[in-house]
């Protein structure tokens, strides 16, 4: 073989190596992945603070493995903001040859928010995400409220689901979103869903002018000053 | 000439390495455009002792009873001890890896759980014949083939379910040594009546390789507690059970 031929062989070989390694690394970057977390309560208000608790976070999963994490709490009390008990969070996920999935559940019992403004005997957040040959999707089936009551608004008897993202005004306080659902992914090769069963947004009016004739404030903007979340579960898959 | 000879050896090796990197990647398609995953393969039949099972969700017994898969043969084999029925709302999550029991270096043929975590929460459930509701969080933890709460092996079995839609897994089967079988679960919560008790767990993956769609089911779960009862096999209100490989 002469020197010129060797030159082309070397170039072809180098090209093959580069293409191979790049493609391999790119494919590795697109590997299947799952994620999940769940927590029963979160309070961040001027009345007090309590981080996401009890928090369960899905450990890293690779290969055709699976994992689960759970956390339990007996009771939580942030005076004036939130009290609750029997707090449980579970998340699990798996990567398989035919199906990859994650599922999370969080629950809280004897829920009392803002001194009885919102109460519930129990709240369960339940989500799952799955990816397979048929595509990727997520669901919040199994997410319910038990005997939910909102002062001045109404109540539900028994164990009931509520339509996603129901926004209810809480005069003088802010608003609450029930069954708050935050989707993610393209629905084809990835999907994810976070559900916050009760998400209270505390708001204050900032600025504005007091009308001395009516006693009402004109103008100004509402500013979120705190939030309370009860029952939060997240699951994600990507393939 | 010598340099040329080395090149002839080195470059084909590098080409092979490059092609190997492609071949060994999990996903042959590297297009950035969203499209259907193309690498899914039909899983081999579920089996013991090599299965891996993971899942979680919720059941609402007695609603959505998977009566088809709670068949007489397996009732007699695994659940002969009749317990009072538990009704209410139960959430759960689990991860169980199966393996073969080895004693004195020899496989016994028994299927055991090599590692696993099972969490089941009973929310204001009622036990048949008892008054009032209870809240209990049960937990089972298995490491290196032994139950973390009693040090014993936990025996399991996998079988094709009666609905012919998939496979079921029973963890804590009764008829393997040590004589009492089952597994030990820790109890927490106001409704707990003892710190530990014997328990059994069953799940069915009735949609193997397909996403869990539909409400309820088609996957199912069952929890049996020595002192609090039996949920029976119930289709999931939400969640998923996946048998995901060997």
User: What are the pLDDT digits (tens) for B33-79?
Assistant: 334 444 566 556 666 778 899 999 999 999 999 999 999 999 999 99
**What distance in Å separates the CA atoms of residue B168 and residue A94, rounded to the nearest whole number?**
17
Q: What pLDDT, on the 0 to 100 scale, is given for residue A1? A: 42
**Helix extents (H) in A30-72:** none
What mean pLDDT comes out for the span B215-220?
A: 82
How does DSSP classify residue B153? -
**What distance in Å separates the CA atoms of residue B151 and residue A43, rounded to the nearest whole number?**
40
Do A18 and A100 sit in the same domain of this protein?
no
Task: Determine whether B120 is exposed, middle or buried from the number of CB atoms within 10 Å of its CB (0-12, 13-18, 19+).
Answer: buried
Block residue for tokens 């020899």: B106
**What distance in Å separates the CA atoms of residue A178 and residue A195, rounded to the nearest whole number?**
9
Identify which of A28, A105, A239 has the shortest CB distance to residue B25: A28
Do A89 and A142 sit in the same domain of this protein?
yes
Do A99 and A125 sit in the same domain of this protein?
yes
Do A2 and A70 sit in the same domain of this protein?
no
**Interchain CB distance below 8 Å, B21 and A101:** no
Do A72 and A156 sit in the same domain of this protein?
yes
Residues of chain A falling short of pLDDT 70: 1-31
Q: How many domains does chain A have?
A: 2
Do A66 and A26 sit in the same domain of this protein?
no
Q: Does B30 touch chain A (CB under 8 A)?
A: yes
Contact pairs from chain A to chain B, CB under 8 Å: 253
**What distance in Å separates the CA atoms of residue B9 and residue B216, rounded to the nearest whole number?**
61
Please state, for a pLDDT cut of 70, what percent of chain B lies above it: 76
Q: What pLDDT, on the 0 to 100 scale, is given for residue A97? A: 85
Q: Among A5-19, A189-203, B10-24, B162-176, which range has the highest average pLDDT?
A: A189-203
Q: What pLDDT, on the 0 to 100 scale, is given for residue A33? A: 94
Q: Which residues of B touch A107 (CB under 8 A)?
A: 91, 121, 123
Q: What pLDDT, on the 0 to 100 scale, is given for residue A11? A: 58
E strand or H helix at A228, and its extent? Answer: strand A221-238
Q: What pLDDT, on the 0 to 100 scale, is given for residue B148? A: 96
Do A4 and A70 sit in the same domain of this protein?
no
Do A12 and A37 sit in the same domain of this protein?
no
Q: What pLDDT, on the 0 to 100 scale, is given for residue A205? A: 87
Q: Does B205 touch chain A (CB under 8 A)?
A: no
Do A16 and A88 sit in the same domain of this protein?
no
| Domain that residue A217 falls in | 31-238
pLDDT of B216 over the 90 cut:
no
């Amino acid at each position: 073989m002469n020197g010129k031929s060797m030159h082309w062989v070397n170039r072809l070989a180098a090209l093959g190596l580069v293409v191979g390694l790049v493609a391999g690394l790119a494919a590795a970057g697109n590997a299947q992945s799952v994620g999940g977390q769940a927590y029963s309560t979160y309070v961040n208000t001027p009345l007090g603070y309590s981080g996401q608790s009890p928090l369960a976070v899905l450990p890293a999963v690779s290969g055709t493995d699976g994992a689960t994490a759970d956390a339990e709490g007996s009771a939580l009390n942030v005076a004036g903001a939130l009290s609750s008990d029997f707090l449980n969070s579970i998340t699990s996920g798996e990567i398989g040859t035919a199906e990859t999935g994650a599922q999370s559940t969080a629950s809280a019992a004897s829920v009392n928010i803002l001194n009885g403004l919102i109460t519930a005997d129990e709240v369960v957040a339940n989500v799952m995400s799955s990816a397979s040959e048929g595509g990727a999707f997520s669901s919040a089936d199994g997410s319910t409220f038990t005997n939910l009551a909102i002062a001045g608004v109404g109540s539900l008897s028994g164990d009931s689901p509520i339509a996603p993202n129901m926004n209810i005004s809480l005069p003088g306080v802010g608003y609450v979103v029930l069954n708050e659902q935050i989707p993610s992914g393209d629905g084809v090769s990835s999907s994810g869903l976070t559900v916050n069963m009760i998400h209270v947004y505390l708001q204050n009016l900032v600025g504005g002018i007091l009308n001395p004739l009516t006693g009402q404030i004109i103008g100004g903007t509402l500013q979120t000053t705190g939030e309370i979340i009860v029952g939060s579960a997240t699951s994600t898959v990507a393939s | 000439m010598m340099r040329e000879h080395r090149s002839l050896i080195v470059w084909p090796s590098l080409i092979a390495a490059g092609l190997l990197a492609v071949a060994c990647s999990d996903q042959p398609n590297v297009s950035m455009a969203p499209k259907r995953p193309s690498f899914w393969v039909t899983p081999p039949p579920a089996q013991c002792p090599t299965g891996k099972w993971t899942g979680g969700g919720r059941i609402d017994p007695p609603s959505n009873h998977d009566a088809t898969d709670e068949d007489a043969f397996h009732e007699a084999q695994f659940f002969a001890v009749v317990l009072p029925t538990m009704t209410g709302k139960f959430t759960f999550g689990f991860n169980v890896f199966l393996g073969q029991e080895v004693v004195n270096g020899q496989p016994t043929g028994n299927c055991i759980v090599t590692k696993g975590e099972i969490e089941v929460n009973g929310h204001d459930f009622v036990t048949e014949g008892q008054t009032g509701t209870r809240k209990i969080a049960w937990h089972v933890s298995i490491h290196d083939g032994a139950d973390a709460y009693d040090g014993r092996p936990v025996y399991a079995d996998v079988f094709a379910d009666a609905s012919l839609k998939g496979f079921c897994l029973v963890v804590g089967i009764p008829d393997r040594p040590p004589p009492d079988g089952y597994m030990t679960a820790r109890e927490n919560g106001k409704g707990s009546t003892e710190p530990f008790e014997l328990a059994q767990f069953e799940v069915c993956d009735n949609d193997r390789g397909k996403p869990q769609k539909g409400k309820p089911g088609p996957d199912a779960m069952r929890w049996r507690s020595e002192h609090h009862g039996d949920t029976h096999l119930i289709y999931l209100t939400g969640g998923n059970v996946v048998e995901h490989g060997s």
